[in-house]
A and B are shown apart, each in its own frame.
Chain A
Amino acid sequence: MFLVCFATIELHAQCDISITGRIVDEHDGSALSFASICIESSNKGTMSDDSGNYTLEGLCPDTIVLVCAHLGCETIRDTLVLTEDLVHDFNPEHHTEMLEGISVVEKGSKVSGMQTMSTLENPELHSGESLGEMLEDVPGLNSLSTGGAITKPMIHGLHSNRLLIWNNGVRQEGQQWGNEHAPELDPAIADEIQVIKGPAGVQYGPDAVGGVILIMPNSLPDKFGLGGSMIINGQLNGLGGSSSLILEGRSKKWSALRWRVQGSGKKIGDLNSPDYVLSNTGAEELNFSYAMSLTKEKAALNVFYSQFNTNLGILGASHIGNFTDLERAFNSSVPLEIQQFSYEVRRPYQHVEHELVKVNGTLETSENGKLELTYARQYNLREEFDRHRLSNPERPGLQFEIVTHSLDATHTQRNLGKHRLKTGISGLYQVNTFEGRFFIPGFRKWTGGLFAIDRWTSGSSIFEAGGRLDYVLQEVYLSEQSGFNKYDHRYLQPSLSLGLSKLIGENGKWKLNAGTCWRPPNVNELYSNGLHHGAATYEIGNRHLQAEVSYSLSSGFYYQSESWKLQVEPYVNYMRDFINLIPSFPATLTIRGAFPTFEFQQIDALLCGLDIQAEKSIVDWLKLKWSASILRARDLDAKDWLVQMPTDRSSLALSYEQIKGRYTLKLSPQLAWVNKQWRVPPASDYVAPPDGFFLVGFQSGVKREGKSGVTFLNIEINNLLNERYRSYLNRYRYFADEVGFNLKVRVGHRF
């Protein structure tokens, strides 16, 4: 009569979600004590007390089936998406006969559950890596890089202004338009990173045509006392490391107040390829943040502050003055500048700062309603220290400063019948200025948006429909021969999405999502006019560009049994007026010689692909995991391929895991294969795409769970065979080989 909950051992970090609720007889409303409430396929369970109340704590974000069983009642199995604390009541029918009851309730999800998405849990196992590197293991994600230090995440072939980073509940604003501008944030603040693969503009606003990356810090501690974690990383290649410290607490005296302080630092010297030093590829970083929250019954006030500061070296051999230099670099098998290993970050380098202040308040407006108000101010500084002859050694050749104020209000109403309605309004004001060499002009930008998302359940299906309307005004200030002129650009566009998630049998799930999303052209696409030194191209903006609109259809099939886990996610993304950099003639003649000229133009593009992941438990301590992703990206106007798209890739990992008492040992050899990018338009690139490659890696870890906390040691080896290779998605492929063998050691303690 009581359902058996399988005892499997869950060892997740920072699992702190709780479910509370009450078990009440549906007919007479009497409290049911001694009902068993447990999570299917886990060892978590409890009993209701005399008043019918129950509490389950320390749960991880997941989709669970919560089972309520009571003597003489039907057994109820409810599917819940856990992302935050929730209240879930059961009203079993008190019958003598047993009924098979299945109902699906779903609430409290921060993120649309309809879209194909991936979660990177335990980001601490990637501690010291950049966001781009962290996410490379997720099928469908790649990183577009400029050497080892500058990496940008790429979702299904789209990156930069086509992705949105949702950092701790705030839309990250910086200078993401540049291919060599890495995200201006410290991923060490994240407890979990979620990736929505595919357009997600309804909730997050314009620009999310490729997807959204959600950086989610842990919620502030509920438990009294002091907690925190400390991680130290060292790496052999680059002879450097990083460390991160988190302290958090809540005192019994002022139990309304919870706080956290966090800091991290990083220093890495020149990286090495198998044959030579990659001169001036070092990096340094210093970040800190603090968070506080005050809760009082139905209201909470949260304050968050973070600062990110970095200096990123740029491979000397890649900083070229003109096209002849570029050709000379291509024709040389080794970089034309190789110096001794050094920790110094010299010119050319980038200096980037980002500061975020966030004030957020929540209020429970009714039993099932919640209002949330968030104000944020962001400051981003980007300085590019070129190596040009006349530059003042103290000053950058190019400097951008961008200040963004944003205000968002959302209201969530649950249990409107079977519906959950989320509505919101958001506004943003932004100012960008530049100093030094002209590349993009200064501008002011205002955006405003309204959205509503309704989610409802029916049978074993969850539906979602959402709509949004955004208005964007950009005022661009341009110095021209006719004087100093102001140009206005206005855009008004809707975003829509429709989603379905359906359980199939005991072990399967199917998701389908259709939607449209858009982004306004960025200022560089409208007005850039100048030499792009890194790429030896002359880029010309097009001030007649219209909004880029994405129409997408994505699906996901999931199957999980005791020995198998399967995930198949196909997608199609049709992009109308896709903004593309297209070669134009003649070349631009300058005093540095002639440069190939590129102009921004709009085309129609079609991107379709497939991500697959399969996991087979051979025995309970040995698993085999395979993943693959393919993408085909077409320029429908030119009837040719799109450039700079990820190649087909596949990886295979064997994972051995043994748990003995308090200790967990994990060993995992890995093999990754990346194909050559054959699908490029002819004569679209200076040099042909590099060959495909195989890489061997290894991961191992030991974890000890003690009374004083969790201690772990993690050893990771990348490029074990010290393979010489170049990657199509790394701009340094023109100049140098990729990084060779690397050993990373991470030691951490969480208490």
Chain B
Amino acid sequence: MKIQTLNIFLLALIASSLSLSSCKKDDDDPDDHDHDHEEELITTVELHMDNTATGDHLTATWSDPDGPGGEDATIEAITLDTNSTYEVSIEFSDESGDEVHDVTHEIEDEAAEHIICFDPSSGELSVSRTDSDGTHGIGLESEWTTTAAGSLNITISLKHQPDVKDGTCDPGETDVEVEFPVVIQ
């Protein structure tokens, strides 16, 4: 008798859950182009360089507005004077959409999770970060120092290091890694 009651109870439970659990649905259609396909991209890296002695202003841009694949990226060369110091600021943006989306502010807001790393391929150019998140450098502002004439490359990378930032470039994930050719003359 007891089991009977339990059976009836469980049946009621099943019946109610059957009626309650309407199936999970997919609200999208594959042929509806308008739904959310937004991608969060960085397509452009722009360098602004001021010669501290002469005040000369230079810019160089690495850009791939259609994102990975498709058209090739365009890369501008950097030409620097020998034995000079430059104050450099770096900007990141997304030019893939209709409007240009500035990403630099978001990096500033989350400075403790980001670091920008500079890796020149030879010793005629050296770079140091001049800004700070309070503990470690960020790299949005930096100082570039040249010595003798030469031709090299500089690799600039943006690392995302949530909870693991330690001032080095090792931890975390690379969001940007671009290479600019540099001529010092």
A interface list, Cβ under 8 A from B = 225-226, 247, 249-253, 257, 259, 261, 290, 292, 303, 305, 307, 316, 319-322, 324-325, 328, 336-337, 339, 353, 355, 357, 377, 379, 381, 387-391, 397, 401-403, 431-438, 441-444, 475, 477, 479, 481, 484, 486, 529-531, 538, 540, 588-593, 595
Contact = CB atoms under 8 A, between A and B. Distances in A.
B97 interface: no
A538 B30 contact: no
B10 A591 contact: no
B176 A591 contact: yes
Interface in B57-93: 62, 64, 67-70, 72-73
Nearest to B170: A336
Contacts of A401: 26, 28
A443 B30 contact: yes
A538 B174 contact: no
Chain A to chain B: the 3 pairs with minimum beta-carbon distance, closest first: A442-B30, A321-B174, A593-B177
Interface stretch (B1-9, B47-55, B121-129, B130-138): B1-9
Contact of A379 (B24, B30, B37): B24
A431 B176 contact: no
Given A259-B10, A436-B38, A538-B69, A389 B106 contact: yes
A215 B31 CA distance: 34
Contacts of A479: 33, 37
B42 interface: yes
B43 A251 contact: no
A339 B162 CA distance: 12
Given A251-B7, A324-B157, A591-B62, 5 more contacts: A226-B3, A320-B173, A355-B24, A434-B37, A591-B177
Given A305-B18, A389-B110, A337 B164 contact: yes
Contacts of B110: 389
Nearest to B13: A261
B43 to A, nearest CB: 6
A443 B28 CA distance: 11
Given A249-B7, A379-B26, A588-B69, A435 B103 contact: no
Contact of A530 (B62, B69, B72, B172): B69
B166 to A, nearest CB: 11
A178 B7 CA distance: 43
Nearest to A400: B26
B98 interface: no
A435 B69 contact: no
B174 A225 contact: no
Contact of B28 (A307, A324, A433, A595): A433
B148 interface: no
B10 A328 contact: no
A389 B173 CA distance: 9
17 contacts: A225-B3, A259-B7, A290-B17, A321-B159, A325-B174, A379-B24, A387-B173, A389-B160, A431-B26, A435-B35, A442-B28, A590-B67, A591-B42, A591-B62, A591-B64, A591-B177, A593-B178
B163 interface: yes
Interface string B161-185: 0111000001111111110000000
A402 B26 CA distance: 7
Contacts of A442: 28-31
B45 interface: yes
Contacts of B157: 324, 593
Interface of B: 3-4, 6-8, 10-11, 13-14, 17-18, 21, 23-26, 28-31, 33, 35-45, 62, 64, 67-70, 72-73, 103, 106-107, 110, 113-114, 157, 159-160, 162-164, 170-178
B27 to A, nearest CB: 8
A444 B32 CA distance: 12
A389 B171 CA distance: 14
A433 B21 CA distance: 23
A591 B73 contact: yes
A477 B29 CA distance: 10
A591 to B, nearest CB: 5
A166 B103 CA distance: 48
B174 A336 contact: no
Given A389-B114, A436-B36, A444 B30 contact: yes
Contact of A593 (B17, B45, B72, B174): B174
Name, among A328, A353, A433, A475, the residue most crowded by chain B CB atoms within 10 Å (CB to CB): A433
Nearest to B4: A251
Contacts of A592: 68, 174-177
Contacts of A437: 39-40
B69 A357 contact: no
Contacts of B68: 530-531, 538, 588, 590-592, 595
Given A387-B173, A435-B28, A479-B33, A261 B14 contact: yes
Contacts of A339: 163-164
A402 B29 CA distance: 10
A261 B10 contact: yes
Contact of A259 (B14, B26, B175): B14
B164 to A, nearest CB: 6
A328 B170 contact: yes
A452 to B, nearest CB: 33
A336 B30 contact: no
A450 B144 CA distance: 72
Contact of A433 (B14, B18, B29): B29
A529 B70 CA distance: 10
Contacts of A257: 11
Nearest to B67: A590
A438 B10 contact: no
Given A324-B157, A592-B174, A305 B33 contact: no
A463 B32 CA distance: 51
Nearest to B158: A389
A477 B69 contact: no
A321 B67 CA distance: 15
A355 B173 CA distance: 34
Nearest to B34: A484
A387 B64 contact: no
A716 B37 CA distance: 47
Contact of B31 (A390, A403, A477): A477
Name, among B13, B62, B178, the residue most crowded by chain A CB atoms within 10 Å (CB to CB): B178
B178 A388 contact: no
A309 to B, nearest CB: 10
B72 A589 contact: yes
Contact of A226 (B7, B17, B164, B173): B7
Nearest to B106: A390
Contacts of A322: 174, 177
Contacts of B67: 590
A591 B13 CA distance: 56
Contact of B23 (A247, A336, A355): A355
Contacts of B42: 591
Contacts of B17: 290
Contact of B25 (A247, A379, A529): A379
A353 B24 CA distance: 10
A433 B175 contact: no
Contacts of A593: 157, 174, 177-178
Given A226-B3, A355-B23, A389-B160, A589 B73 contact: yes
A226 B10 CA distance: 11
Name, among A250, A251, A379, the residue most crowded by chain B CB atoms within 10 Å (CB to CB): A251
Nearest to A355: B24
B139 to A, nearest CB: 14
